[in-house]
Structure formats: C-alpha cells, structure tokens
Amino acid sequence: MGDGLGIDEGVAARPPALAGDAMPAEAVGRVLGTQAASPLSFWVGFEPGRIAQLDDVVVTRRDVPGYGPVLVAGVVSAVEARHEGATYDSDVFLIADGALPAAVVEVAEVRVTRVEPEVFVPPLPGALVHKASAGDRDQALYFDVMERKIPIGLGRDGQPMYVNFDFLDGTRGAHVSISGVSGVATKTSFATFLLYSIFNSPALGAEAANTKALIFSVKGEDLLFLDHPNTRIAADATAAYDRLGLAARPFHSVHVFAPPRPGDPNGVPHVSSRTHGVSSYYWTLREFCDEELMRFVFADADDERSQYSMLVGQVAARLRSWAEPVGDSGAVLIRTPDGNATPACRTFTDLVEVIDQGLTDEGTRAVWAGAQVPLGTVNAFLRRLRSAVRPLSPIIRGDLPRGSSHSIRTSDAQVSIVDLHNLPERAQRFVVGVVLRGEFARKESTGSARPLLFVVLDELNKYAPREGDSPIKEILLDVAERGRSLGVILIGAQQTASEVERRIVANCAVRVAGRLDAAEAARSEYGWLTTAARERATIAKPGTMFVAQPEIPVPLAVTFPFPAWATRPAEAGAPPTGTRPADPFAGLPGTAPEDDIPPF
C-alpha cells in the first residue's frame, strides 16, 4: 500500500467501469417477479447457499433497446427469510419434522443508488444479481467520480468508505452534523477521526499545513492528548488504518488553551494531567470594555427575549466610550462625561460594582441607561449581571502580570483545543461566543476562504437551541449560512438534532448519526435515514455511524477504527520525539521541570 489513500496504482488509473463491462463472478440471486421492480428499488431472491447482508452493494444489468446495456446498482436495505408453502404459524414445527413440504426462501430489498447510463427502467424479473466487484462498488457509491475523497471508515465488506471533500470544504457544500446518545454514539471520537482523515489525506494538497482546527472541549481532559499515541491501540485497528490509506499515529501539532488556575497570581493553566503545550486564556477588563463583550455575559437563549436586552447594548457602549486603561495593564477606570473617574477596576467584581452604582444612583441612572428605561428593567439587568460575577471572574481579569500571553489563537498549531470543563456553564457560553466571534471576524478580514478553519463544537443544542435567541446562536447561524464562503467549517455534535436550530442543521451537507434513542430516531430531522437505518441506529455499537452526503441517495453504514491518539489521560503514551510544543510556563512558580513529569 502506497501513500495517499492507499489505492492500488493500477486500480486508481483504471477508468470507471462501463455498463457493458464483464459480469462479476459471484452471482447471489435473481430479481424477483413476485414483487414489483422499479427504477428506484427492487427485490432479490437468493440462490440456495448464497446470502447478502444489509449494506452490501449489488448490481444487475439490462439490455435496453436503443440504449444498450444499462447498469442498475444499489444497496441492500432489508433482508427477509421465510417458509414458502407454510400457511399457519404452527406449520414451522411440521416443516422441521419433515411432515410438511416447504422451502426456506431468503429475499432482500435493494435501494437503487445509481443507474448508468441514466436510462431509468426497472430491472427485469429473473435478471441475475451480483455482489459488486471493486469497480462496480465504486461506481454504485459514486466513489469513481469523487475527485477529492476523504476516508470515513470501513463498510460492512471491510472496504473503505469515503465522503466527497467538495461537500466539506465549501466547494459544493459545507458543515457536518453528528447526532447520537451521549457516551455511546462516539460523536467526539468520530469528529476527531474525520479531522485526522482530512489532515492526512491528499485532498488538501499543499493547503494541509495551513489548514486549522479549533476544538472546544467540555468533557474532562479527554481531548487534551490528541498529540500522544494511544497505548491501547491493537493490531486490528492499525490494519484498519492501513486499509484506509492512513498512518495509525496521533495528531502532530496540538496546542491547548485552559482557563487560569483559581487563586494563582501567575495565571497558570488550570489542568491537572498535562503540563506541556498548554497556555492560559482570559480577557482583560480593557478588552472586555473595548470589544463590547458585555452581550456575551447574557448569552442564554432566553436573554434576548427579556426586556433588558436593549440595556445590555447600552451599557456595553458606555463602557467602550468611558473606559480608560490604567498604565499598560489590563485594568481600567471609568470616566463619565462629567469628568468624574472611578477608582481603577482590577477585577470583574470591581467593574460590576461600578456599573451597579451607576445604575442604582438616581442621579447617574439616566446617563448609564437612558431616561426611558424603567427601574424594573434595570433591576432585572443587575440581578443577572451580579449572578455572573462568580462564574466569569476567573476569565475576565485585570490583576494578572503584564505582558502575559492570554489570547486563544489558532496560529500556534494545526489543532487548537479550548478546554472548558473547569468552567461553569455560563462561563463556557461566554468563551464559546467570544472566541467564535473573533475567529469569524478574522476570517472575514482576510477576504479569502483559504486556509480552512474547522470548528468542532459539542453540545450544539445548548449553544444554538431551536427556541429563543442569543448572541452565540446568531454567530453559529452566521457560520452555518456564510461560513462556507469564508472557509469556516462547523462540525457540530449533539445528542438530539431535533433540539438544534433548523437552519443550522439544514445547512449541513454531511449528516452523521451514531446510536440513537428510539424516540429521537422517529423525529423528522432524521428523514435522511432509511427505515431500516433508523431501526438499526437504536442498536448500533460504538464506532458504527450512518453517514449521509448529497451525492449518495442512501446513508452509508461505516465503522471507523479505534483512535490512534489518546482519548483520555490513562491512554496517553509519550509524544513522538520532536513534536512536543515548548512549555510557555517554564520557570513560573508552581510548575514542575520536565524531568519531574511522571510518565503516562
């Protein structure tokens, strides 16, 4: 197996199979005459001793007058077995004892995926049906016309399955929606595998080095070791990577951003299992005022429906106009139009107290809020603002050392991970909203869709719920609707697609489902799944996903290999030599030298 997708050079160079090519050797049965056949589906009766299972690709051919041989290819969507000749349920016992003559018949329904050439006529009853050979399989699943294809796992036949990169990079579509039961559907594992496949396949070409990924991690420290090999990977998983044309190795360039450790005067990152390649992130009070980040303090979906939503914008505008930096630190003082200045605000608590005093004092309320804002609205605003002090104080600072790097950047590594698990939910919303706004604005300013930025966001239903509005939801809608043209590709994961804003899901060209709850699988949002696939999704094992893409009329059932990168601290081996990023906190109090780091 060579480089790239690992396809044999001779096969790769062979043109797509023509409808008149020689018939494959293995015939499994014939088109039934007792069931109506159509250009879109037909039934197959199996020869004795021959079988086909769900997701097998089969082909049949018909010689059409005036057009010549026509290939009809499809995927097995249902398989049934029954006694032919039995009348009553109890006949099964007589048949088993040989007292009643009957035959066991196995049949399968085939959903047509491709007709080549496009002469839409039904296959004729009695026509031979074959399992697809390599060329026919590629033609049936449109792999032969995918100029840039990304391996997404193995099919039921053990052969690679692909997704067309044109529907991922914005050329003909963009964005991915991944749904499934928490802890069973392996949504995050599939998202990281998809990223790894994109970064390591030839589809990106020379752009691979500059393509970035931004991952928001909300479930512990499991995603902080993507650049460490997985010590639990087995030989069969390595062989699966080989069949996909990928090397079984970790991500080579990863940088982690974590909030500061509470109470630490140096802002050391709040992580316990990783000590290298980790940077703190926070926003200074000066940035909070200058960039009008107040609206992200009120980022719950119901905040925009509240009467104080307009007051949020007014106070943010006042802070931007009145805030003055204190030296070159992140602290600020507030100077009102009458020339009065507050003491320096060095913590988020200090700033909230200044706003509180300005809005509760009758003499200054109109200056801060305007004359028409009712007192009840002001009080509601202040209650929400005060409740944000505790969750946001660790990441909105004016008291940390000057000159320390604290911004979340995607320029330091190919994969940037923003750790959120140590933050309260309200702070998580603030971070996601501010970071997405910043990255989207940065891409807008470049005026080019390249290089691509993939954004992986779990719990999408929390940030872009179907009901209500919020600043984060507005940004995600903008990403879903305009991100394709700007090179910002969303890979969203959620337990329930039915609870995510419809316009976001509708803009996802690629849809994926793992294990689903039975009630959720019945929702209209999963209309892209066939009836059989919906039922199978309720019993799918971890690692099995159903993938739909615009070119293929049926979802593909794929199994992706066990991650070659660590998915939790206990699995992390030593990173490959020369790939460990420099420690940005080397020498700071409270950090251990590299020699003191215990082995993983």
Q: Which amino acid is at 431?
A: V
Mean pLDDT along residues 353-358: 92
Contact status, residue 177 vs residue 164, Cβ threshold 8 Å: no
- pLDDT, greater one: 370 or 241: 241
User: Distance (Å, rounded) from C-alpha 176 to C-alpha 492?
Assistant: 6
Give 481: exposed, middle or buried? Use CB within 10 Å, 0-12, 13-18, 19+. middle
C-alpha distance across the termini of the chain, in Å: 32
Contact status, residue 136 vs residue 16, Cβ threshold 8 Å: no
DSSP H or E run through 369: helix 365-369
In a domain, residue 596? The reply is no
Residue 37 CA: distances (Å) to CA of 32, 41, 60, 198: 8, 6, 12, 39
Same domain as 345, residue 260: no
Q: For the chain, what is the mean pLDDT?
A: 86
Q: Nearest to residue 416, comparing CAs of 595, 588, 258?
A: 258
Q: Examine the pLDDT at 592 and tell me if it is beyond 70.
A: no
Q: What pLDDT score does 185 carry?
A: 64
Same domain as 450, residue 373: no
Q: Nearest to residue 152, comparing CAs of 167, 139, 140?
A: 167
Residue with tokens 């290819």: 73
Apex 510 CA angle, 508 and 516, nearest 5: 95
Same domain as 308, residue 268: no
Q: What pLDDT score does 19 carry?
A: 41
In a domain, residue 428? The reply is yes
In a domain, residue 334? The reply is yes
Mean pLDDT along residues 182-211: 89
**73-82 burial string, b = 16+ CB within 10 Å, else e?**
bbbbbbbeee
Q: Examine the pLDDT at 503 and tell me if it is beyond 90.
A: yes
Q: What pLDDT score does 456 carry?
A: 95
Q: What pLDDT score does 577 carry?
A: 58
- pLDDT, greater one: 595 or 307: 307
Q: What pLDDT score does 412 carry?
A: 86
Same domain as 574, residue 430: yes
Q: What's 113's domain CATH number?
A: 2.40.10.170
User: Distance (Å, rounded) from C-alpha 42 to C-alpha 76?
Assistant: 10
Q: What's 572's domain CATH number?
A: 3.40.50
Same domain as 415, residue 377: no
DSSP 7-76: --HHHHHSPPPPTTSPPPS-EEEEE-SSS---SSEEEEEEPTT----TT-EEEEEEEETTTEEEEEEEEE
Give 108: exposed, middle or buried? Use CB within 10 Å, 0-12, 13-18, 19+. buried
Each residue's pLDDT tens digit, 66-101: 999 999 999 999 999 999 989 999 999 999 999 999
Confidence band of 1 (pLDDT split at 50, 70, 90): very low
In a domain, residue 534? The reply is no
In a domain, residue 548? The reply is no
Q: Cα 410 to the chain's mean position, in Å?
A: 18
Mean pLDDT along residues 271-282: 87
Q: Which two tokens stand for residue 262?
A: 């509470």
Contact status, residue 32 vs residue 42, Cβ threshold 8 Å: yes
In a domain, residue 71? The reply is yes
In a domain, residue 553? The reply is no
User: Distance (Å, rounded) from C-alpha 316 to C-alpha 419?
Assistant: 27
User: Distance (Å, rounded) from C-alpha 280 to C-alpha 261?
Assistant: 9
* Domains held by the chain: number: 3
Mean pLDDT along residues 21-43: 83
Each residue's pLDDT tens digit, 127-186: 999 999 888 999 999 999 999 999 999 998 899 999 999 999 999 999 999 999 987 768
Q: Nearest to residue 308, comparing CAs of 382, 216, 400?
A: 382
- From 102, 117, 145, give the residue that closes a domain: 145
Length of the chain: 600
Same domain as 570, residue 449: yes
DSSP state of 240: H
Contact status, residue 208 vs residue 449, Cβ threshold 8 Å: no
Q: Nearest to residue 40, comparing CAs of 64, 72, 65?
A: 72
Q: Which amino acid is at 377?
A: T
Mean pLDDT along residues 181-208: 89
The upper half-sphere exposure of residue 451, i.e. CA atoms within 13 Å in the direction of its Cβ, equals 16
Residue with tokens 């993507």: 226
Q: Which amino acid is at 198?
A: I
Same domain as 264, residue 134: no
Q: Examine the pLDDT at 597 and tell me if it is beyond 70.
A: no
Contact status, residue 199 vs residue 489, Cβ threshold 8 Å: no
Same domain as 340, residue 320: yes
Q: Is 370 left (phi over 0), alpha (psi -120 to 50) or beta?
A: left
Range of the domain at 328: 283-397
Same domain as 290, residue 236: no
Same domain as 309, residue 342: yes
Same domain as 225, residue 111: no
Q: Are strands 453-457 and 254-258 parallel, antiparallel or unpaired?
A: unpaired
Same domain as 376, residue 234: no
Q: Nearest to residue 342, comparing CAs of 302, 390, 414, 398?
A: 398
Q: Cα 189 to the chain's mean position, in Å?
A: 9
- The set of residues, in sequence order, having a beta carbon less than 8 Å from that of 50 and lying 6+ positions away, is 26, 27, 28, 29
Please compute Rg for the chain using Cα positions: 29
User: Distance (Å, rounded) from C-alpha 222 to C-alpha 348?
Assistant: 30
- The set of residues, in sequence order, having a beta carbon less than 8 Å from that of 4 and lying 6+ positions away, is 201, 202, 245
- Which residues does residue 41 pair with via DSSP β-bridges, in sequence order? 111
In a domain, residue 598? The reply is no
Mean pLDDT along residues 397-413: 82
- pTM of structure: 0.85
User: Distance (Å, rounded) from C-alpha 585 to C-alpha 192?
Assistant: 27
Helix (H, G, I), strand (E, B) or coil at 265: coil
Q: Helix 375-387 and helix 348-360: axis angle, to 10°?
A: 170
Q: Which two tokens stand for residue 294?
A: 């107040």
Q: Examine the pLDDT at 567 and tell me if it is beyond 90.
A: no
